[in-house]
């Protein structure tokens, strides 16, 4: 056989039967045949065909073939007599080393199981096997198949054993069993192996196929030492047995011993509990790698998990001192005090999937939960990270935070985690059911393990929430990594090389887990703390030398630097992450690094870098099978790039495409941000109705994600009010602003800048109310209070404060309060100049206001200088409009006319008329007034 593939073809099967495979490949094929029904049937048929020459070792390769009828060994027929004592009656099945018959022991008049052992090529082999069997005959234990006799007859060794009325342990496990039933059965087998070890006998090939369960439900271990005896009879290699159950030391060539039997028993117990073996390697080399990585045991209770973790230790010395000690540990697992009929159903937000079955025992009728092994494994692993106790602890933690919105945020976080847990569980069950015997399970389960570890880290952080961090909780919970991407992990993808030495593997696992904690700190916007922790661990990561891990660390490092505004450093670190990911064949980190480099380039406005990374990022997404999360991220970045250069149609189209993807994915994150972006695009395009539609949808999403009282909901209420103001729905705008103010005052206090900005927006909406509805004193109070709050909150000149003063001045001017308006314009102007300098083009509005009020106060000569300055600044401003320039020209013309310079005034008025006629909007009143003034 040239390679191990999902199924073997007829030629490969014949090569196996004819003994044309070397020892390692034979073991690999055996491992596959043991798992694959189709291949077992193919090999079984070929083994019985007289035209196919069967190899002496074929019995090892077809050890698990379920021959219910028909003898694969045609030279022994019913009625034949073996050793002049055992009369063959029928074939019971094909055992690990030969054929098992039902036979009549004429000497003692009893029915026995007679195994004729083949696969040995020398008399010494037979003698060693007989010696092993006779030693077993001296051992009496209720959970060991009794050996009556052994010898050599008709050229083959035979063993006469007790005939057990029952089924193999593997067949027994095909029916769902409670974990207590499994612990009881494996406790019996552990006692049996312990007794054999005390007598100096090692099994060497323990697996569920070599254990029988009788009608009374008692385990009976058989085939002690047979595989080892056959293997050792013709050469001095100690390792024999089934690779999937063999301890690491056996795969390295060591002899079987009590510690390796213990390992094989724990592999079998893990398989019974999880529905799959702990080490999923297809070849001996892959098994060695899996052993070195270690295994994550997820069963409950914790006492059972600890037993398995110790019994499956890669180092023999780390296992239990004996099988009796292991059996004692199993027996010491606490007894159940009450029948449990659900597995955290209310917590997960789904109906309990546990099925109650009725088990009839000799003691009477009892109920036990009979669970699909894949469901049981998923529930057990999930319970380590998310369970009722942890959910209740989170609710208690939030209840203790003295912030108005803490409790609803905690409730929302718990619900989101419950929904996420349900999706994680469903994905785990799906992976287990579809891939447990195929290539790719290990990669997918590793992916799911990483997602669960992120939940662990997030829950740990939520349990220590405080007033300073509670606002960030919804964003951190929304950032939970998608479980759907684990479904997309390709079993044919290149595998990331991981450490195989046990100590290095343990360090790798610890450092990988630490990274989840750092990522949670990032999601809480605790960038400095996350960076400090990551920096402390980087030397360990570098010393370990696993480039895949270093790629992940550098990626998160780059993210943190970007969030802190250190864009050049971020780009350098992300490029290093990209190189490590490429070298270690970590495709996911490579893709993430390329996308992040693109975003950093956009933020940096580095045109060359944008062109480079945009092409590479798009090519990487295309070449990775178009993963939805990464495609949505790419589209969002392309939208950001277009928005940055005022290409609003392209930006809107990209954001819409990203939103459609996010909404299709159950774990999709980013819907809120995309709705906000689309609202911004519509607003900048003066599509105010569309802006309101997007921002209203964002508001509804935020209320679901953050709860009703979170400051983010207040911000979205303000945005929605802004769009409503623009379309003239003043009542709705004012209602939303008042609600936002109530949220802010309850959550961040009366003097917060958010309160100041909301008051300013409220006053602006109230200004546009009809005169009979507007309360001038109230509007003045809102403007004045807003400016005071903002000035105190910022503690220095700020554009928000300057703009509030400007809007208040405009309102005072409209009411004819010109002295007051002039003072407010001058305050706004001074503050703007302190921020951007005396030549800042953004000053033109305040300078224009000062000039206009000087005219109203009868000071035209002073006004002319201010208005000329306003016109010059307007010409440099990116925010300038045609109509704004026309109004400055109009006011300057009025000031010139007031001092007798009528020619200049007329020319300016004609210029202003031309500009107003070209401007967008209805300026008919202003145009008519200018025409009259020009005609005078």
Please tell me whether residue 334 adopts helix, strand or coil conformation: coil
- What is the separation of C-alpha 748 from the centre of its chain, rounded to a whole number of angstroms? 33
Read off the pLDDT of residues 648-670 as tens digits, 9 standing for 90 and up.
999 999 999 999 998 887 666 68
Residue 68 pLDDT > 50? no
**CA 468/CA 476 separation, integer angstroms:** 14
Q: What is the pLDDT of residue 241?
A: 64
**CA 906/CA 449 separation, integer angstroms:** 79
- Per the document, the length of the chain is 936
Read off the pLDDT of residues 684-724 as tens digits, 9 standing for 90 and up.
888 888 988 998 998 888 888 787 888 888 888 998 898 88
DSSP string, 58-115: HHHHTTT----SS-S-TTS-TT-EETTTEEEEEEEEE-SSEEEEEEEETTTTEEEEEE
Residue 194 pLDDT > 70? yes
**DSSP alpha helix (H) spans, 258-387:** 258-274, 284-293, 302-311, 323-331, 345-348, 373-383
Considering only residues 866 and 228, tell me which one the structure prediction assigns the higher pLDDT: 866
**CA 293/CA 699 separation, integer angstroms:** 47
Residue 263 pLDDT > 90? yes
Residue 578 pLDDT > 90? yes
Of 393, 269, 253, 377, give the one whose Cα is nearest residue 320: 269
Of 522, 509, 519, 520, give the one whose Cα is nearest residue 548: 509
What CA–CA distances, in Å, run from 488 to 279, 441, 476, 629, 884?
Answer: 21, 12, 24, 11, 56
Residue 869 pLDDT > 90? yes
Read off the pLDDT of residues 513-566 as tens digits, 9 standing for 90 and up.
899 999 999 999 899 999 999 999 999 999 999 999 999 999 999 999 998 889
Residue 356 pLDDT > 70? no
Range of weakest confidence among 123-132, 306-315, 461-470: 123-132
What CA–CA distances, in Å, run from 214 to 189, 192, 210, 217, 827?
Answer: 13, 15, 13, 5, 95
Range of weakest confidence among 134-143, 484-493, 792-801: 484-493
CB 431 within 8 A of CB 445: yes
Q: Which percentage of the chain shows pLDDT scores above 90?
A: 38
Read off the pLDDT of residues 401-449 as tens digits, 9 standing for 90 and up.
988 888 888 888 999 899 999 989 888 888 777 654 444 456 777 788 8
Read off the pLDDT of residues 767-812 as tens digits, 9 standing for 90 and up.
999 888 889 999 999 999 999 999 999 899 999 999 999 999 999 9
CB 654 within 8 A of CB 598: no
**CA 562/CA 772 separation, integer angstroms:** 52
Segment 359-382 mean pLDDT: 54
Read off the pLDDT band of 233 (50, 70, 90): very low
Which residue shows structure tokens 């550098």?
A: 554
Segment 354-360 mean pLDDT: 25
Token pair belonging to 402: 């003295």
Q: What is the pLDDT of residue 1?
A: 27
**CA 192/CA 194 separation, integer angstroms:** 5
Considering only residues 931 and 555, tell me which one the structure prediction assigns the higher pLDDT: 555
**CA 578/CA 592 separation, integer angstroms:** 9
Residue 47 pLDDT > 60? no
CB 103 within 8 A of CB 161: no
**CA 115/CA 86 separation, integer angstroms:** 11
Catalytic (active site) residue 622: no
Residue 69 pLDDT > 60? no
Side-chain half-sphere exposure of 448, counting CA atoms within 13 A = 28
DSSP, res 491 = T
> What number of other Cβ atoms are within 10 A of residue 46's Cβ?
19
Read off the pLDDT band of 128 (50, 70, 90): confident
- List 149, 205, 523, 800, catalytic entry: 205
CB 292 within 8 A of CB 499: yes
Those residues with Cβ within 8 angstroms of residue 555's Cβ, 6 or more apart along the chain or in another chain = 574, 577, 581, 589, 592, 593, 596
Of 485, 476, 363, give the one whose Cα is nearest residue 424: 485
Residue 166 pLDDT > 90? no
**CA 140/CA 205 separation, integer angstroms:** 20
Read off the pLDDT band of 681 (50, 70, 90): very high
Q: What is the pLDDT of residue 342?
A: 26
Segment 13-18 mean pLDDT: 57
């Amino acid at each position: 056989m040239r390679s191990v593939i999902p199924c073997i073809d007829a030629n490969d099967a014949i090569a196996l039967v004819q003994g044309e495979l070397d020892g390692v490949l034979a073991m690999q094929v055996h491992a596959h045949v043991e798992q694959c029904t189709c291949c077992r049937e193919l090999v079984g048929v070929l083994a019985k065909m007289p035209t196919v020459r069967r190899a002496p070792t074929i019995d090892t390769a077809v050890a698990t073939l379920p021959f219910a009828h028909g003898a694969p060994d045609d030279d022994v027929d019913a009625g034949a007599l073996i050793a002049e004592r055992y009369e063959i009656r029928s074939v019971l099945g094909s055992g690990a080393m030969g054929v098992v018959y039902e036979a009549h022991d004429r000497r003692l008049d009893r029915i026995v199981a007679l195994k004729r052992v083949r696969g040995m090529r020398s008399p010494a082999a037979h003698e060693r096997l007989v010696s092993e069997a006779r030693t077993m005959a001296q051992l009496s234990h209720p959970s060991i198949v009794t050996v009556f006799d052994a010898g050599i007859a008709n050229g083959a060794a035979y063993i006469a054993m007790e005939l057990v009325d029952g089924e193999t342990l593997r067949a027994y496990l095909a029916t769902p069993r409670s974990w207590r039933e499994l612990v009881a059965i494996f406790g019996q087998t552990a006692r049996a192996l312990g007794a054999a070890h005390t007598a100096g006998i090692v099994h060497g090939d323990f697996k569920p196929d070599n254990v029988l369960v009788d009608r009374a439900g008692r385990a009976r271990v058989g085939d002690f030492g047979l595989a080892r005896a056959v293997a050792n009879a013709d050469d001095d290699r100690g390792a024999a047995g089934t690779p999937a159950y063999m301890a690491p030391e056996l795969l390295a060539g060591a002899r079987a011993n009590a510690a390796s039997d213990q390992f094989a028993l724990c592999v079998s117990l893990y398989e019974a509990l999880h529905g799959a073996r702990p080490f999923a390697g297809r070849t001996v080399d892959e098994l060695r790698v899996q052993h070195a990585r270690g295994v994550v045991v997820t069963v409950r209770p914790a006492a059972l998990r600890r037993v398995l973790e110790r019994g499956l230790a890669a180092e023999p010395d780390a296992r239990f001192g004996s099988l009796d000690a292991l059996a004692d540990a199993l027996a010491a697992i606490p007894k159940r005090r009450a029948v449990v009929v659900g597995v955290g159903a209310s917590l997960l937000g789904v109906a309990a999937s546990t099925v109650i079955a009725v088990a009839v025992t000799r003691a009477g009728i009892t109920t036990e939960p009979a669970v699909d092994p894949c469901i049981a494994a998923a529930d057990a692993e999930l319970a380590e990270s998310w369970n009722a106790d942890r959910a209740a602890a989170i609710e208690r933690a939030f209840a203790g935070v003295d912030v108005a919105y803490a409790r609803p945020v905690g409730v929302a976080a718990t619900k989101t985690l419950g929904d996420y847990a349900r999706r994680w569980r469903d994905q785990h069950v799906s992976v287990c059911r579809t891939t447990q015997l195929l290539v790719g399970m290990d990669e997918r389960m590793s992916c799911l393990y990483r997602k669960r570890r992120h939940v662990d880290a997030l829950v740990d952080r939520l349990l220590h929430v405080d007033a300073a961090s509670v606002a960030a909780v919804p964003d951190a919970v929304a950032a939970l990594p998608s479980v759907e991407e684990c479904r997309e992990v390709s079993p044919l993808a290149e595998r990331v090389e991981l450490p195989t030495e046990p100590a290095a593997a343990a360090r790798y696992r610890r450092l990988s887990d630490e990274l989840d904690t750092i990522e949670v700190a990032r999601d809480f916007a605790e960038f400095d703390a996350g960076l400090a922790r990551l920096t402390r661990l980087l030397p360990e990561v570098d010393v370990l030398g696993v480039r895949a891990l270093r790629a992940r660390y550098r990626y998160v490092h780059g993210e943190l630097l970007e969030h802190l505004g250190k864009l050049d450093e971020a780009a350098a670190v992300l490029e290093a992450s990209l190189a490590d990911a490429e070298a270690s064949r970590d495709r996911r980190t490579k893709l993430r690094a390329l996308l992040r480099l693109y975003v950093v380039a956009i933020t940096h406005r580095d045109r060359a870098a944008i062109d480079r990374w945009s092409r590479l990022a798009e090519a990487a997404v295309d070449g990775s099978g178009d993963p939805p999360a990464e495609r949505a991220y790419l589209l969002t970045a392309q939208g950001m790039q277009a928005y940055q250069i005022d290409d609003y149609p392209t930006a809107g189209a990209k954001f819409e495409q990203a939103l459609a993807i996010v909404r299709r994915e159950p774990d999709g994150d980013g819907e809120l941000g995309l709705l906000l972006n689309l609202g911004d695009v519509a607003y900048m395009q003066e599509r105010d109705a569309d802006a309101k539609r997007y921002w209203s949808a964002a508001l509804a999403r935020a209320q679901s994600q953050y709860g009703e009282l979170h400051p983010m909901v207040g911000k979205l209420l303000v945005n929605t009010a802004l769009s409503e103001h623009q379309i003239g729905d003043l009542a709705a705008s004012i209602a939303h602003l008042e609600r936002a103010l109530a949220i802010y005052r309850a959550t961040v206090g009366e003097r917060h800048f958010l309160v100041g900005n909301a008051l300013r927006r409220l006053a602006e909406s109230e200004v546009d109310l009809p005169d009979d509805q507007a309360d001038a004193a109230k509007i003045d109070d809102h403007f004045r209070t807003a400016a005071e709050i903002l000035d105190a909150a910022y503690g220095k000149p700020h554009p928000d404060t300057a703009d509030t003063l400007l809007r208040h001045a405009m309102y005072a001017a409209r009411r004819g309060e010109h002295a007051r308006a002039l003072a407010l314009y001058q305050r706004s102007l001074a503050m703007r100049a302190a921020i951007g300098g005396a030549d800042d083009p953004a000053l033109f509005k305040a300078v224009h206001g000062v000039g206009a009020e000087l005219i109203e106060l009868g000071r035209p000569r002073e006004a002319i200088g201010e208005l000329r300055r306003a016109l010059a600044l307007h010409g440099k401003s990116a925010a300038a409009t045609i109509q704004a320039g026309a109004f400055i020209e109009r006011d300057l013309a009025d000031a010139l006319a007031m001092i007798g310079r009528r020619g200049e005034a007329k020319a300016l008025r004609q210029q202003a008329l031309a500009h107003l006629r070209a401007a967008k909007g209805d300026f008919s009143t202003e145009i008519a007034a200018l025409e009259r003034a020009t005609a005078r």
